[in-house]
Chains A and B, each alone.
Chain A
Amino acid sequence: MSDQPKLKIALVGNPNSGKTTLFNLLTGLKQKTGNFPGVTVDKKSGFVKLPDNRTAELIDLPGTYSIYPKTLDEKIVQEILLDRQNPQHPDIAIVVADATNLKRNLLLFTQIRDLGIPSVLVLNMIDIVQQRNVKIDLRGLSIDLGIKVLATNSHSGHGIAALKKIISQPLLQSNKPFYDVTHLAAETINDIKEKFDLTEDYRAYQYAQQTERIGFIDEEEKGVIRQIKETNNFYDIPTQSQETIGRYQLISDIVDHNIIDPSDESKTTISEKIDKVITHNVFGYVLFFAILFLIFQSIFAWATGPMEFTENLVSQFGRWVQDVLPEGILNDLITDGVIAGLAGVVVFIPQIAILFAFISLLEESGYMSRAVFLMDRVMRKFGLNGKSVVPLISGMACAIPAIMATRNIESWKDRLITIFVTPFMSCSARLPVYTILIGLVVPEKLVFGLINIQGLVLMGLYLLGFLAAIVSAIGMKYILNTKERSYFVMELPDYKLPQWKNVLLTIYNKSKTFALEAGKVIIAISIILWVLASYGPGESFRNSESIVRAELPQNATQAEYET
């Protein structure tokens, strides 16, 4: 068994479909985070033990609404699924669909199915559906879609065992596509199939639709496709809308046929009621700034304890090592080089953890997209985009993941400006400096009995960074010139109670990445510093002051000495 290539499974689905929760349930702690080769898009993968004792590799692909990418994140999904030669191309796709919004979620599923990738459909959040007294006929759905369908409840983990069982068995694949694209562009599809030796009509059709966006086809081959399209009068945009509308018609019939939904569409949902408050024209902004303020207060107040604790722990450990090891160079290297560097890394972990806890809570609950909604108008004035809010907030934890978060911004110009200005946001590594300065000059007093003045000043410093970011964004807005338009079509997901397991895993993964990635550099520099301090310029450097004094004439004045 072990010499067989490992089974590769991809988890695909719409954003907010509960994909990450499912991923966490399937892999547990056996996860690794990294990048997709060649691009800075977070790649999360993990291992799943199947009932037949095989281990499969599970890749969590970025959330996307369709196979036609609009963002850099979505482009990864397109590249991996369209290119059979891609090392990440899955043997099986688990398509996750939010059962509360089945029609829109099924669009992506039908596209993946027509690419001929063996897949299984997972209806997530089935508990919410049941609460609303909606009845879904899983068997009927399975027959109509020509695929295995099962329901999972990601809160209780119900359905996970069944899912593992299904993926360990060979999945039957229907030869007939769900939606036949040949009537849209028969000749184009045939010519491309022949030229590139493809079996699925839809894959060939995608080559025609996305010629310019596909990275794995070289310029010469693209020329051939362009030629084929021109001879056959293939126009991508009208054909694509025809395809999408056609798919929706089929999906709509199937869903209406298999779902009984007694709920009244016009009744206001809980989410709508919450939105009345959270996106209120005045209160919404008050709340937004209150949340930001809470984040600063907590970094300042809550993180100091754990920070001092870890710092003490590491320094005690250093002293212990110093005593245990025999005196000499090795002792110095380990205590003053390695452990001192280690102290510089671990001391930031509490702050990173707290910031990512907040960011992950805001994202999990659905609040983040409301913040984006509220801030879009303001941000656009400065050449940014509502979606720049997320990188700017994450920039306060660390600029690197923040810059990576900009890939959700569709517009190239908005994205570039956001990337440029994000480093102005005060990241957590600047916090110790701020903390020391504030501790020196600002008295520790409470205003109104509960607001810490030091916290207030800290917020001021952060606002200063924000101001610098905004001012430079305005400058960039006039420097960069593109005709490209920016879109702002964004889902406002229903509010959800955050899942603690997801939040904890985010904190764990982000802190681990920080400790390992930043740690490597910091410890290396610490060792270099130690070497320089021990073997560097040495005596003449350390005693520079007395040497200078000695060289100056005895009767030199103080002023001469100062220069």
Chain B
Amino acid sequence: MKSLADLKISEKGIIKSFSDEALSIKLIEMGCLPGSEIQINFTAPFNGPIAIKVAGYHLSLRKEEAQSISLEE
């Protein structure tokens, strides 16, 4: 299944679901709602955190955390 971590820089996707329940609560609170558009803005080197644009603002999260966000195919 395609996840946020598979997106390239500037590529967009639509959030479908979350595979990590505890983390999903935090993500939903921060505005990462299922159905909303999400885009990778830039990444830190050596598999560091990634910066995304969602709900009109910028958020950073780690690569493993990004893998828990599944996107619509």
Does B bind A? yes
Chain A contact residues, CB within 8 Å of chain B: 65-66, 68, 70, 101, 103-104, 107, 237-238, 240-241, 244-245, 248, 265, 271-272, 275-276, 279, 281, 369, 373-374, 376-377, 386, 485, 487-494
In B3-37, the 8 Å CB interface with A consists of 21-31, 33-34
Docked-complex contact B33 and A245, CB < 8 angstroms = yes
- CA of A114 to CA of B68, assembled, Å: 31
In B21-73, the 8 Å CB interface with A consists of 21-31, 33-34, 41-42, 44-49, 51, 55-62, 65
Docked-complex contact A237 and B21, CB < 8 angstroms = yes
- CA of A238 to CA of B21, assembled, Å: 8
* Given A104-B30, A490-B60: A244 and B25 interface contact (C-beta under 8 Å): yes
Residues of B within 8 A of A104 (CB): 30-31, 55, 57
Residues of B within 8 A of A275 (CB): 41-42, 51, 58
| Distance to closest chain B CB from A491 (angstroms) | 6
| Distance to closest chain B CB from A487 (angstroms) | 6
| Distance to closest chain B CB from A311 (angstroms) | 44
Chain B contact residues, CB within 8 Å of chain A: 21-31, 33-34, 41-42, 44-49, 51, 55-62, 65
Residues of A within 8 A of B26 (CB): 70, 487, 489
Task: Report which of B44, B45, B56 forms a contact with A265, defined as CB distance below 8 A.
Answer: B56
Docked-complex contact B58 and A271, CB < 8 angstroms = yes
Docked-complex contact A245 and B34, CB < 8 angstroms = yes
Residues of A within 8 A of B51 (CB): 275, 279, 373, 492
Docked-complex contact B65 and A487, CB < 8 angstroms = yes
**A interface majority secondary structure:** helix
Docked-complex contact A107 and B29, CB < 8 angstroms = yes
Apart from A248-B31, A488-B49, A488-B60, 9 more pairs, CB < 8 Å: A237-B21, A244-B28, A279-B51, A374-B48, A489-B30, A489-B60, A489-B61, A489-B65, A492-B59
Residues of B within 8 A of A488 (CB): 49, 60-62, 65
Nearest chain A residue, comparing its CB with the CB of B27: A489
Task: Report which of A65, A487, A491 forms a contact with B58, defined as CB distance below 8 A.
Answer: A491
Docked-complex contact A65 and B30, CB < 8 angstroms = yes
Nearest chain B residue, comparing its CB with the CB of A236: B25
* Given A70-B26, A488-B61, A489-B61: A376 and B31 interface contact (C-beta under 8 Å): no
Nearest chain B residue, comparing its CB with the CB of A263: B56
Task: Report which of B41, B49, B57 forms a contact with A491, defined as CB distance below 8 A.
Answer: B57
Greatest chain A CB density within 10 A among B22, B27, B28, B46 is at: B28
Docked-complex contact B48 and A490, CB < 8 angstroms = no
- CA of A487 to CA of B30, assembled, Å: 13
- CA of A489 to CA of B57, assembled, Å: 13
Residues of A within 8 A of B44 (CB): 279, 281, 373-374, 376-377
Docked-complex contact A68 and B29, CB < 8 angstroms = yes
| Distance to closest chain A CB from B31 (angstroms) | 5
- CA of A240 to CA of B34, assembled, Å: 15
The 6 closest A-B pairs by CB, nearest first: A377-B48, A492-B58, A281-B45, A488-B62, A104-B31, A66-B29
